[in-house]
Structure 1
Amino acid sequence: MDQTPRRMLGQPPSSPTTQPKKKSTSVMSFFSKVSWNLRLQKQEPLKNVFFILAETARDPSVKKRHMVMSGLGTMACETPDKVRKYKKIILDLLVNGLYDPVSSEVIHESMKTLTIILDKIRGKALGSFFIDITLQTRTLLDDENDSLRYSAFVLFGQLAALAGRKWRRFFTRQVKQTQDSLLTHLQDRNPQVAKACKTTFRACSPYLRQSKDYSFQNEEDQRNSKLCRQLSHYHPELLQFFYANKIL
């Protein structure tokens, strides 16, 4: 179950998240129970599976909490229709995992699974979860862990496409507050993180544009605005140089 979401998200091979070779009997027992319930959905309602997951997601064991986040990712891949039906329950579990106070592995797994889930539900009915996910993801863009940083950029870029009218003003503020991170990590020490940042920068560039009301702008301001948009799409590294040297 754990391998599917990893392949889909293209986790940087240079800093893989290490997994323990031996799992405790209790973790294996839990994993088997969830899998068995998934195979017997007609005999046992899927709600029971979520009850097990919700209970285990708050378990003191980091391994068990990590297993829940991974299990949700597998459910999203195998039964996307069920994920859409129970999206609020699933999102609640994943947001809790995203804010895990102890384990970076649980946080990382939550981000990867959120990327899968958001793709399946296409951002529909995110509600206030959009705010929670955005705020926490922002804090991870500068994390020291390469894998966390990579997944955070992937997820943040995805959120840019899901903001819509309802959250556009909120997300615009978040992007502007994150602008320094976006520019800095275009030259990230990890090539795959830099690539993910470049993709996210392009996704976020519409939120960096100035207001469509250009009545207060002079002709030079308008030209600069257009140039910034073009550079953000085709040559973000050059735009970074211009910003750093206060040319634009």
Structure 2
Amino acid sequence: MKIKPFLESENDDIRYASILLMGNLSKFGSGEPVFKDQIHNVLVSLLLHLVDPNPQVVKACKFAMRVCAPVVGSEQITAMFQNHLHEDKSLHYGEFINDLTKYLIQDFPGMLNFYHISVIQFFKSNWPEVRAAAAMFIGFLLGNLQQEHFSQLNMATVTKGLVLLLQDSDPVVRAKAAEAMGQFH
């Protein structure tokens, strides 16, 4: 809980170090329910910082997610993180998040409200890359969500956030927000 604020630090070195620390702590938290909750608590931040403008932060996220994966509690997500999150390999973020949201919906339906609220908080991130990734994440989450789960999401807040992103100064953010809104059905 004390590390979480540093994951969003504007200082690249602090962001990098806090993410590495989170990953290294997972070696000691295996089997601890409280640590599992904390991993879920920072998962959205780690996922969105996979597109961080600092390449070292991206590598740290990949490392942290690979070593924390067994604690998450999903064999499919663990396998996905182990197979796709290699520090020196590129990642097709859209495909990765699209597949991941399917597993999150399937394996953690009770966490959907928490995940979508966490993602919405990143609509105001300092980094346009992270704002665009947040729009993509919410878009794929909505696109993959079955009808029975929609009641868990605050669609008014999602819509309001995406409308604000449509007015963002960065054209990529605006495009990703429009794509996310295309998932509404």
1:36-67 alpha-carbon deviations (Å, 9 max, x no partner): xxxxxxxxxxxx79729959x78xxxxxx978
Structure 2 CA distance for aligned equivalents of residues 117 and 75 of structure 1: 19
8 Å contact from structure 1 (residues 84, 120) kept in 2: no
CA 181–120 in structure 1, closer or farther in 2 if over 3 Å, else same? closer
Q: Which amino acid aligns with 1:142?
A: K
The answer for the alignment partner of 2:62 in structure 1 is 70
The match for 2:143 among 155, 161, 166 is 161
Is structure 2 residue 75 aligned with structure 1 residue 85?
A: yes
The answer for the alignment partner of 1:190 in structure 2 is 170
Structure 1 CA distance for aligned equivalents of residues 76 and 104 of structure 2: 14
The answer for the alignment partner of 1:224 in structure 2 is none
Q: How many Å apart are 1:164 and its aligned residue? A: 1.1
The answer for the alignment partner of 1:136 in structure 2 is 118
CA 177–122 in structure 1, closer or farther in 2 if over 3 Å, else same? closer
Is structure 2 residue 183 aligned with structure 1 residue 203?
A: yes
Q: Indicate the structure (1 or 2) with the bigger Cα radius of gyration.
A: 1
CA 50–196 in structure 1, closer or farther in 2 if over 3 Å, else same? farther
SS of the residue corresponding to residue 149 of structure 1 reads helix
Consecutive unaligned residues of structure 1, counting only runs of 5 or more, are: 1-16, 35-47, 59-64, 91-111, 207-248
Structure 2 CA distance for aligned equivalents of residues 198 and 133 of structure 1: 20
Structure number with higher helix proportion: 2
Structure 2 CA distance for aligned equivalents of residues 115 and 75 of structure 1: 18
Greater than 6 Å deviation, 4+ residue runs: 65-68
The answer for the alignment partner of 2:152 in structure 1 is 170
Q: How many Å apart are 1:200 and its aligned residue? A: 0.5
Q: Which amino acid aligns with 2:139?
A: G
CA 74–160 in structure 1, closer or farther in 2 if over 3 Å, else same? same
Cα RMSD, aligned residues only: 4.6
Aligned positions, number: 135
Structure 1 CA distance for aligned equivalents of residues 103 and 158 of structure 2: 26
The answer for the alignment partner of 1:123 in structure 2 is 105
Q: How many Å apart are 1:161 and its aligned residue? A: 2.0
The match for 1:51 among 30, 49, 55 is 30
SS of the residue corresponding to residue 117 of structure 2 reads helix
The answer for the alignment partner of 2:132 in structure 1 is 150
